[in-house]
Amino acid sequence: MESKICTNASCRNKSTHEWKRGWALRSGGYADLCYNCGSAYENLVYCETFHSDESGWRNCFLCGKRLHCGCIASKSLLELLDSGGVGCTSCDRSSLLCSSDQISNGFGASTLKSGADMQSPIEIRVTGDKLDDGRLSQLCKFVEANEPNFLPQSLRGDTRTSNLLPPFVGGIVDREQSKTASLFQQGQRSRPIYPKPSKSGLANSSETIKGMFTQPRIARPPVDGRGKSQLLPRYWPRITDQELQQLAGDLNSTIVPLFEKVLSASDAGRIGRLVLPKACAEAYFPPIHQSEGLPLKVQDVKGNEWTFQFRFWPNNNSRMYVLEGVTPCIQSMQLRAGDTVIFSRIDPGNKLVMGFRKAANSVDAQECQTSALSNGAPSGDTSFTGVVENLLAVNGYSGILQTPNGSNDPHINALAENLNLADGDIGWHNSDNHGGRINGNLLQQPVPCIEKKKTRNIGSKSKRLLMNSADAMELRLTWEEAQDLLRPPPSVSPSIVTIEDYEFEEYDEPPVFGKKTIFTARISGGEEQWVQCDDCSKWRRLPSDALLPPKWTCLDNVWDSSRCSCSLPEDMSPKELENLIRGGREFKKRRIESHKSAQECEPSGLDALASAAVLGDMGDSGEPSVGATTRHPRHRPGCTCIVCIQPPSGKGKHKPTCTCNVCMTVKRRFKTLMLRKKKRQSEREAGMPRKEKNDHNDESEINGTSGLASLHINQSPSEDNQSKIKAEVAETSTGRIDLNCDPSREDMQPEVAGMSMMSLVEKASLPIVTYIKQSGLGSLISEQQTSQLMKSSSPPPPGTSC
């Protein structure tokens, strides 16, 4: 027994320091519970079998929140009682399926709807005040089968003891007493239940919460069928009692949910084959003895009857069952990979029905979200009537249910049931279609819809790791964009670590995600960045070096007191705002294009450098002035990486006296170029073998241009050398450094450029200052820099590149 202070705000007895290991039903595991209020201590819930190390926890595959350890004990109860996890406040789906950030309070019981906490056995009241006998019996059977010691002897076997249920929910088990202590029995202890005050202003009576708690989606164990007990829980159909009762009552028939399956890419693809779980096929579909199988009639939710070929393929001394010819049906229901098809049976008649549930993040669902919202659906609607209506639709009963969101469109409702209507955050991928909001929270990006396209391998290790080239491109871009959001850990200064002459900043803490901003250049010079308020969506101008947290509002504007409130007007006109956003889009578009071209021919660092300077010329090509710098959103003062050395304003050529990063890098490279030539010449005179020299020179080349380390990575050593020479010739022949020259271009011949190799060598042997003066480069470098050049013969200092 430990002494801890309850962290539950609603706990009435903060002084109660008694904590016991208890059953955190919602989270499917044991936790330290406040003996007073039942709240899980700091929401950290352990599974029954004490897989208590964090690595044992599972994460929701969509929202990433920790769920439960996945042990039998936690899983079974989760799936039986808790519809698979913590109910989402919005869509009421299991947290296992919910992608919403509604499960936002961390982990465990505090993530319940309406902020209800561990004290709420209320969640079970969805079916009344107790579990019905059938479900309790199922629960007991299942738990007993998987965790024999979990139930007390009195509850083993047929346990239609629903009166035990209320204490069971949220009951406290003293693990110290006995591992086999029954939570049913222990739970009969009475303890106060204090509903947590609702944040949203909703009344917090159990009745109200009961109303909010629509039916949990119960993963139903298999009904009658061959081999029924072997079905994996993931195939158990999730359908509520209410739905079933309504269906059975209204139709005067019995709907028997059989199984469900999440559509894979190949299921939903054009092949038209739906792979059936073997156990399900053998349990619920007619037995087949020939590979060809037999035709199977299945009704869809619209009442259409489809005939699929139910067959199998021999596979490793086993069978692989498929439904062939499902494409028209899948398309009719507008299903995609990730959506779920639910096979049910209507009794009497033994008619097969195929319902569906759309994945929360499918594009269709999002579109539906929009339409549902425009339909006046209340935010936070947790209707589950979609499936009911879908099933009703089978028999022509579409629309007979009065749905809470007021829509009679079963399809709409079917989709809406899975949506996070409360949030309304369309997310990054749809931002272009919804007002072009640039500041989409990348952390809340919806999973892109899976689509069958031409694919290519992105890794040799796994053939399954496929994505189409566009996705791969997007991945690269979003990865880079993610870099935009990374901020150094707060209040921590890095330690500098030198590895192979390169300095790295090393932080004890990982970087944090910051808010995405847009950088622009001031007309007067310098930079500024723009950020959009998370509350009022107004854009605010900030200093370029401001580091922002992921959430930022006008109130956080400590730099400009005249713009530190959402009530204050925006810093720019609508037209300027349009330019700003357009600039951001065009920057992204350009990057995509440049990535495409990069795929065809990887550019060298020199190319990138040249491009950087050339970009300056392109800055005059009619781009909106505010957009000129959005092409360099990562530009940071002082950074000399290949991105940041691009001219900040993109305006014209640089003056000879310019000391910007580009010019300084160019000059530095020129210096090392000359030094290398001189060295090469002296080596040649000394008669050293050329091959060794090449190797050595290549090395010095890389060392001398640390920021351009990717130079000529695709070229053989000989080609490399030739290219360099050509580039050097191009640079020197015009008396200026031509950043447009391409070292790999065959047409850059020395003779064409008007200078022989010998004359180049001669010039390279001259002292650098003499050479600069002779070549007319004096205007490019100031006297002061020239003298610096003479003093300095070392390569650029490490750390000048990113």
CB 403 → DNA: shortest distance, Å? 32
- Quote the CA–CA distance of 442 and 486 in Å, as a whole number: 11
The distance of Cα 478 from the centroid of its chain, to the nearest Å, equals 10
List the end-to-end C-alpha distance of the chain, in Å, as a whole number.
Answer: 53
Contact 646, 632 (CB under 8 A): yes
CB 264 → DNA: shortest distance, Å? 3
Per DSSP bridges, beta strands 466-467 and 502-506 are: unpaired
CB 398 → DNA: shortest distance, Å? 30
Return the number of the residue (277 or 436) whose C-beta is nearest DNA: 277
Give the single-character DSSP code of 152.
Answer: -
- Quote the CA–CA distance of 607 and 610 in Å, as a whole number: 5
Return the number of the residue (187 or 293) whose C-beta is nearest DNA: 293
- Quote the CA–CA distance of 546 and 198 in Å, as a whole number: 36
CB 466 → DNA: shortest distance, Å? 5
Return the number of the residue (337 or 581) whose C-beta is nearest DNA: 337
Return the number of the residue (337 or 645) whose C-beta is nearest DNA: 337
CB 68 → DNA: shortest distance, Å? 15
CB 496 → DNA: shortest distance, Å? 38
CB 219 → DNA: shortest distance, Å? 15
- CA Rg, the chain, in Å? 34
CB 312 → DNA: shortest distance, Å? 9
Residue 429 C-beta-side C-alpha neighbours within 13 Å: 14
CB 317 → DNA: shortest distance, Å? 6
Q: Which residues bind DNA (CB under 7 A)?
A: 232, 261, 264-267, 270-273, 275, 277-279, 291, 313-318, 320, 324, 337, 455, 461-464, 466
Return the number of the residue (198 or 340) whose C-beta is nearest DNA: 340
State both tokens at 547: 């580091």
Return the number of the residue (273 or 538) whose C-beta is nearest DNA: 273
| Residue 723: other Cβ atoms inside 10 A | 21
CB 273 → DNA: shortest distance, Å? 6
Bridge-partner residues for 321, per DSSP? 276, 312
Return the number of the residue (270 or 589) whose C-beta is nearest DNA: 270
User: DSSP letter string over 495-556?
Assistant: EEEEETTEEEEE-SS--EE----EEEE-TTSSEEEEEE-TTT--EEEEETT----SS--GGG
User: DSSP letter string over 18-62?
Assistant: EEEEEEEGGGTEEEEEETTT-PEEEEEEE-TT---SGGG--B-TT
Return the number of the residue (408 or 455) whose C-beta is nearest DNA: 455
Residue 665 C-beta-side C-alpha neighbours within 13 Å: 27
- Quote the CA–CA distance of 177 and 22 in Å, as a whole number: 12
CB 295 → DNA: shortest distance, Å? 13
Bridge-partner residues for 310, per DSSP? 294, 323
CB 278 → DNA: shortest distance, Å? 3
| Residue 567: other Cβ atoms inside 10 A | 7
From 607, 603, 269, select the one nearest 455 (Cα to Cα). Answer: 269
Return the number of the residue (462 or 524) whose C-beta is nearest DNA: 462
Return the number of the residue (172 or 231) whose C-beta is nearest DNA: 231
Identify the three-state secondary structure at position 219: strand
- Quote the CA–CA distance of 28 and 7 in Å, as a whole number: 20
Return the number of the residue (319 or 590) whose C-beta is nearest DNA: 319
State both tokens at 147: 């965790």
Return the number of the residue (190 or 318) whose C-beta is nearest DNA: 318
From 72, 34, 41, 69, select the one nearest 53 (Cα to Cα). Answer: 69
